[in-house]
C-alpha cells in the first residue's frame, strides 16, 4: 500500500482509542468541558448505562456559531495557543481531541448558544471526512452535547461494554469525584429518566460538609479532620479521616491536583506514610484532598486521560503532603484526648 493520509473519521477513531474507553470517559470529557466553559449548573441524562444516550447540558458561555465546526475537529482548542500555555495549564482540557474522538465513535450532536447570539445552532459531523453540518436549534445560553449509540461503528469496542449497572456505576463514581472538586457547581444526574443524584451548589462550610456527607457518607464526616496548609506556592486542603475512621476498603480516596482528579503514586505514598503506624495492614485511609501548586511546577501532559502528573519538585511535594497530614493527625488526636478529659 502506498503511504496515504488517513480519512478524518478513521484518524479520530484511532485517537478515540486512547481517551474514550467507556461511557464514563465520555461523561468525564464533556463535564470537564462544561466546567472549563464556566458552567454553574450541569444536567446529565444517561440511558442504558450510557450506551444508548449521554446528554449533558450546561449553562456555560457557549460556543459561537462560526466555531462549532472547529469544536468538532481534532487538534482544535480554545484553551492553549502556545508552548508557554502548555507549560502552565489552567483548564481541565487542552488537547482539543475529545469532541472529535467521541464524535467519530458515536452519533454526536453539539448544540450551543452564546449570550451574543439570538439563536442557537446544532452541529454534527458526517461521513468519512467528518464534514460538519449546521442547523438552527432552540437552546438557552450554554451548550448541550448529545452522544447516542456509543461505539455503534466500532463493534470491537462495543463488545467491551459491561452491564448497564456496571457502566452506570462508573459514571456515578466519576461524578462523585467531580462533585467533590467543584462544590460550587450544581450537578444533576438522571438514569433512564429517574433522578439519581442532585448535588446542589454549596458555598458555606455547612453546605460543603453536607455535600461531603452526600458523597462520602456520614461516617466519613464524623471522623473527618479538616486540613488547610500552605508552603510558598504549595497548598493542601480538604479532609482526612482520623485513624478511628479508617476503612476496610480504599473506597474513599479522592485526590486532586489543581482541580484535576489524580491517581498519583507519589501522592499515595506520601499519604500512606503519614498514617504509617496508625493503620493496621488491612486498613485504608479515607481522604478528600486538594493540592494546589503553581501550574509551572507540574506537568499534566503525561497521560492522555490525565490521571498522572509529574511534579518538578517531587521530593518537596511529597514531604509537604506527608508532614502536613502527620501534623493534622496529631492535632486531631490531641483534640480527641481533650474531649475525653472534659
Binding site residues, ligand ADP, CB under 6 A: 29, 33-34, 37, 58, 60-63, 71, 77-79, 93-100, 143
> Residue 35 or residue 224: which is nearer to ligand ADP going by CB?
35
> Residue 50 or residue 142: which is nearer to ligand ADP going by CB?
142
Residue 256, phi then psi, degrees to nearest 5: -130, 140
94 binds, among ligand ADP, Mg ion, none (CB under 5 to 8 A by kind): ligand ADP
> Residue 28 or residue 139: which is nearer to Mg ion going by CB?
28
Give CA–CA dist 236/230, Å, rounded: 6
Q: Is 98 in the site for Mg ion (CB under 5 A)?
A: yes
CA distances from 209 to 29, 112, 236 (A): 27, 34, 18
71 binds, among ligand ADP, Mg ion, none (CB under 5 to 8 A by kind): ligand ADP
- According to DSSP, the β-strands at 41-47 and 186-191 are parallel
Q: In sequence order, what are the residues at sequence separation of 6 or more whose Cβ sits closer than 8 angstroms to the Cβ of residue 1?
A: none
Give CA–CA dist 216/288, Å, rounded: 9
* 3 state DSSP class of 324: helix
Instruction: Report the site for Mg ion in 25-44 (rule: CB under 5 A).
Output: 33
> Residue 234 or residue 261: which is nearer to ligand ADP going by CB?
261
Site track 58-97 with Mg ion (rule: CB under 5 A), x = hit? -----------------------------------x----
Give the up-direction half-sphere exposure of residue 73: CA atoms within 13 A in the CB hemisphere.
Answer: 13
Q: Is 100 in the site for Mg ion (CB under 5 A)?
A: no
Site track 251-290 with Mg ion (rule: CB under 5 A), x = hit? ----------------------------------------
3-state secondary structure 137-187: ECCCCEEEEEEECCCCCCHHHHCCCCCHHHHHHHHHHHHHHHHHHCCCCEE
> Residue 305 or residue 314: which is nearer to ligand ADP going by CB?
305
Q: How far is the CB of 68 from ligand ADP (least distance, A)?
A: 9
Helix, strand, coil abundance in the chain, percent, nearest 5: 40, 25, 35
Sheet of strand 224-231: strand arrangement: 224-231, 234-241, 287-292, 253-257, 260-261
103 binds, among Mg ion, ligand ADP, none (CB under 5 to 8 A by kind): none
Q: Is 103 in the site for Mg ion (CB under 5 A)?
A: no
Q: How far is the CB of 36 from Mg ion (least distance, A)?
A: 7
51 binds, among Mg ion, ligand ADP, none (CB under 5 to 8 A by kind): none
Residue 285: count of CB within 10 angstroms of its CB: 23
**Taking Cα atoms as reference points, which of 154, 151, 31, 149 lies closest to residue 98?**
31
Nearest residue to ligand ADP, by Cβ distance, number only: 93
Q: How far is the CB of 339 from ligand ADP (least distance, A)?
A: 47
Instruction: Report the site for Mg ion in 190-219 (rule: CB under 5 A).
Output: none
Residue 110, phi then psi, degrees to nearest 5: -110, 120
> Which set of grid coordinates corresponds to residue 182?
467543584
- Which residues lie near Mg ion (CB under 5 A)? 33, 93, 98
Amino acid at each position: 500500500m502506498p503511504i496515504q493520509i488517513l480519512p478524518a473519521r478513521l484518524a479520530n477513531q484511532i485517537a478515540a482509542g486512547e481517551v474514550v474507553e467507556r461511557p464514563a470517559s465520555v461523561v468525564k470529557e464533556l463535564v470537564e468541558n462544561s466546567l472549563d466553559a464556566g458552567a454553574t449548573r450541569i444536567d446529565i441524562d444517561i440511558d442504558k448505562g450510557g450506551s444508548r444516550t449521554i446528554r449533558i447540558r450546561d449553562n456555560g458561555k457557549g460556543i459561537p456559531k462560526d466555531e462549532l465546526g472547529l469544536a468538532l475537529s481534532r487538534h482544535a482548542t480554545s484553551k492553549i495557543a502556545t508552548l508557554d500555555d502548555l507549560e502552565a495549564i489552567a483548564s481541565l482540557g487542552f488537547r482539543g481531541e475529545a469532541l472529535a474522538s467521541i464524535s467519530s465513535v458515536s452519533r454526536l450532536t453539539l448544540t450551543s448558544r452564546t449570550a451574543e447570539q439570538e439563536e442557537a445552532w446544532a452541529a454534527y459531523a458526517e461521513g468519512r471526512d467528518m464534514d460538519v453540518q449546521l442547523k438552527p436549534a432552540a437552546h438557552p445560553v450554554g451548550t448541550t452535547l448529545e452522544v447516542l449509540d456509543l461505539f455503534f461503528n466500532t463493534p470491537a469496542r462495543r463488545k467491551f461494554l459491561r452491564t448497564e449497572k456496571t457502566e452506570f456505576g462508573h459514571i456515578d463514581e466519576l461524578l462523585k469525584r467531580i462533585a467533590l472538586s467543584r462544590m460550587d457547581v450544581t450537578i444533576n444526574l438522571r438514569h433512564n429518566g429517574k433522578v439519581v443524584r442532585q448535588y446542589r451548589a454549596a458555598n458555606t462550610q455547612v453546605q460543603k460538609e453536607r455535600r461531603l456527607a452526600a458523597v462520602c457518607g456520614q461516617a466519613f464526616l464524623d471522623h473527618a479532620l479538616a486540613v488547610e496548609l500552605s508552603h510558598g506556592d504549595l497548598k493542601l486542603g480538604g479532609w482526612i479521616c482520623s485513624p478511628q475512621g479508617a476503612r476496610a476498603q480504599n473506597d474513599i480516596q479522592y485526590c486532586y491536583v489543581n482541580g484535576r482528579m489524580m491517581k498519583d503514586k507519589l501522592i499515595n505514598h506520601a499519604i500512606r506514610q503519614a498514617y504509617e503506624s496508625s493503620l493496621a495492614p488491612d486498613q485504608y485511609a479515607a481522604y478528600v484532598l486538594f493540592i494546589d501548586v503553581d501550574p509551572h511546577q507540574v506537568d499534566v501532559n503525561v497521560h492522555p486521560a490525565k490521571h498522572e502528573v509529574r511534579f518538578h519538585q517531587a521530593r518537596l511535594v511529597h514531604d509537604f503532603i506527608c508532614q502536613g497530614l502527620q501534623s493534622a493527625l496529631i492535632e486531631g488526636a490531641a483534640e480527641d484526648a481533650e474531649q475525653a478529659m472534659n
